[in-house]
């Protein structure tokens, strides 16, 4: 028993020394292998895009909403009770088509009264004209005074004026009678009717009976910031942007699809909205199938000009410094990576439009940019967009492979603990 107690410290010291020796032996070769592998590792392969200047259309995407080409709020022009609705709600109506029939008895009575008054005044006028003819003969023979003749002439003129006024009343009564049938002022699509048969309506009431909208063609009202408009005009004046005569507009719908027909830019507002700081642009689109409805949100793509000698670079190749400076990684003639500040003026699809910082023939790193750093030796290969996506997939197995040694190490550690 005493001998075991004496030998225990000695055995513990030996075991500790042995484990330290093993750790030391296993650590140094591993580090040496890693250092050797780093020295023998070949240069990193990167996908490069050769810069080629070209004329690029600078387009801008602006949000907007659709608006009917024509809108008419139909209101009655005479008072009365609605007898009948003559159209189907939501249907297409043509200009002049009857929409409502209003009780016309009052207007018809007014017309009859005006016509009767006109007949009476015309009869009086005829009597005065006959009398004026007789007086003309009598005044020639001095049978009556000149004053009496002048009086009858004046009465004829007054009667003629009364007849003309009554004729105007008759025409007005006929117009009011025509208002008893409410007709469509424009051709277009009807909305829901706000009245039914039996409703009392009044002339020029605030609430419309129905609203008609012309949907073919259709407007798209677009808002552009005044700052963007000012920058565009400065570029045009400086010559860095050529004016484009292409006023066609493409439309991207709410579901992400594109409207199949291109529109044209109709006009640009001449003033800036003081509340929003934007200028309204209006585009016109054909809409024969009525796919576009008023009030829909859409994104318009408008070509504002052509940039000469611009270079299109994929967005993945451009990074930003903390100050916002755009940077590109270039492979020089010696195969060394060097950073290059560039100037971008917008995007075209998935590419940046670069106007300064790159020269013709520069090799811009697009693929593998995250694996390189400045002054690093690399091997450049042509960039292939189709192969960019699959290369991202093997990154996941690499992580699982890294996790496997960790799990094995944990199992070994637990095994050693159990043996102890």
In this structure, the answer to whether residues 315 and 357 fall within a common structural domain is yes
Q: Is the pLDDT of residue 173 over 70?
A: yes
- Rounded to the nearest 5°, which phi and psi values hold at 356? -140, 150
Q: Is 347 helix (H, G, I), strand (E, B) or coil?
A: strand
The CATH number of the domain holding residue 90 is: 2.40.50.100
Report the C-alpha gap between 45 and 244 in whole angstroms. Answer: 41
Q: Which residues pair with 59 in a beta bridge?
A: 303
Assess whether 229 and 314 both reside in one domain: no
Which of 136-150, 187-201, 279-293, 396-410 has the lowest average pLDDT?
A: 396-410
Q: Tell me, what CATH number does 220's domain have? A: 2.40.30.170
| pLDDT surpasses 70 at 241 | no
**Residue range 317-332: mean pLDDT, rounded:** 90
- Please give the average per-residue pLDDT across 93-100, as a whole number: 94
What's the pLDDT at 43? 83
Q: Which helix (H) or strand (E) holds 106?
A: helix 105-140
Question: What pLDDT is attached to residue 76?
Answer: 94
pLDDT higher than threshold 90 for residue 100 = yes
Q: Is residue 416 part of a domain?
A: no
Q: Show the domain range for 88.
A: 76-102+180-207
- Predicted TM-score of the model (pTM): 0.60
Q: How far apart are the first and last CA of the chain?
A: 22
Q: Quick one: which H or E segment has residue 107?
A: helix 105-140
pLDDT of 242 higher than 70:
no
pLDDT attached to residue 410: 46
> Are 324 and 336 found together in one domain?
yes
Residues in the chain: 420
Torsions phi, psi of 252, nearest 5? Answer: -105, 125
């Amino acid at each position: 028993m005493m001998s075991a107690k004496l030998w225990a410290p000695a055995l513990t010291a030996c075991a500790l020394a042995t484990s330290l020796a093993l750790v030391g032996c296993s650590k140094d070769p591993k580090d040496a292998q890693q250092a050797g592998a780093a020295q023998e590792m070949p240069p990193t392969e990167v996908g490069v895009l050769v810069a080629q200047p070209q004329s690029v259309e600078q387009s801008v995407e602006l949000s907007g909403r659709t608006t009917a080409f024509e809108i008419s709020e139909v209101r009655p022009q005479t008072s009365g009770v609605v007898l009948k609705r003559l159209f189907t709600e939501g249907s297409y109506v043509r200009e002049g088509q009857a929409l409502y029939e209003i009780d016309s008895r009052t207007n018809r009575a007014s017309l009859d009264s005006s016509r009767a008054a006109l007949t009476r005044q015309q009869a009086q006028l005829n009597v005065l004209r006959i009398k004026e003819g007789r007086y003309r003969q009598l005044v020639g023979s001095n049978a009556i005074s000149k004053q009496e003749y002048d009086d009858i002439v004046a009465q004829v003129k007054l009667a003629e004026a009364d007849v003309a006024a009554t004729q105007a009343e008759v025409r007005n009564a006929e117009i009011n009678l025509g208002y008893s049938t409410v007709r469509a002022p424009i051709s277009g699509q009807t909305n829901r009717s706000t009245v039914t048969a039996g409703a009392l309506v009044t002339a020029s009431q605030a609430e419309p009976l129905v609203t008609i909208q012309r949907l073919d063609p259709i407007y798209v009202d677009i808002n552009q910031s005044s700052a963007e408009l000012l920058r565009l005009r400065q570029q045009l004046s400086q010559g860095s942007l050529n004016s484009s005569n292409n006023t066609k507009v493409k439309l991207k719908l709410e579901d992400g699809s594109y409207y199949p027909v291109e529109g044209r830019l109709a006009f640009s507002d001449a003033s800036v909205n003081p509340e929003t700081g934007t200028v309204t642009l209006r585009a016109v689109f054909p809409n024969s199938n009525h796919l576009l409805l008023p009030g829909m949100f859409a994104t318009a793509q408008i070509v504002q000009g052509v940039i000469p000698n611009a270079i299109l670079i994929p967005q993945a190749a451009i990074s930003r410094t903390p100050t916002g400076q755009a940077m590109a990684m270039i492979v020089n003639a010696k195969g060394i990576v060097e950073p290059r500040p560039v100037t971008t003026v917008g995007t075209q699809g998935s590419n940046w439009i670069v106007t300064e910082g790159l020269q013709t023939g520069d090799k811009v790193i697009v693929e593998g940019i995250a694996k390189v750093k400045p002054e690093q030796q690399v091997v450049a290969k042509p960039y292939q967009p189709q192969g960019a996506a699959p290369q991202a997939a093997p990154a996941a197995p690499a992580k699982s492979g890294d996790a496997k040694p960790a799990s094995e190490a944990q199992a070994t550690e637990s095994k050693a603990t159990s043996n102890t």
